[in-house]
Structure 1
C-alpha cells in the first residue's frame, strides 16, 4: 500500500510537475535553459525587498514591540 502511494508521488513529480524542465534540458543556450530559475530568483528578490521595506515602515512608526517580553520564547 505505501509503496504504491510513494510511487504515485514520484510519478506526479517526474512526469507532470517537472515535465517542462525536460524541454529546457536539451537546449544548447545556457540562458534559455535556466530562464525559469532566473524568473524565480527575480520574484524572490522582489519579495525580499518588499518585505524589508515593510519591516522598515513598521520600525519607523514604532509599531514593533521590542520589549524583552514581546515573545514568549525569550
Structure 2
C-alpha cells in the first residue's frame, strides 16, 4: 500500500508539477517570462468579455432581450 502512495507522489511531484518548478526557477531570472501564462490567460479573458458584451449589445439591439422582471414567478410576489 505504501508503494501505491509513493507512486502517486512520484507522479505529481516529479512529472505533473515539473513545469511549475520550471516557472518558479525562471522567476529569479525574468519576472515577465515566469508570468507569461498569466498574461496569456488575462488576454483570453479580456477578449471573451469584449466578445460577450458585443453579443449582449447585438441581442439587445435586435429586441431579443427579455428584460421583464416578471419573467420569474418568484419576482412577482
Same fold (TM over 0.5): yes
| Structure 2 segments unaligned to the other structure (5+ residues) | 1-7
RMSD: 2.5
Query: Cα deviation per residue 1:10-45 (whole Å; 9 max; x = unaligned)?
Result: 8876652x4322111111100000000100110000
Shift in CA distance, 26/56, structure 1 to aligned 2, threshold 3 Å? same
| Structure 1 segments unaligned to the other structure (5+ residues) | 1-7
TM-score (norm 2): 0.69
1:59 aligns with 2:63: no
Q: Which residue of 2 aligns with 1:35?
A: 36
Aligned residues: 66
Larger radius of gyration: 2
TM-score (norm 1): 0.71
SS of the residue 1:25 aligns to: helix
- Which 4+ runs in 1 deviate beyond 6 A? 10-13
Q: Aligned ranges for residues 8-47 of structure 1 at < 5 Å?
A: 16=16, 18-27=17-26, 28-47=29-48
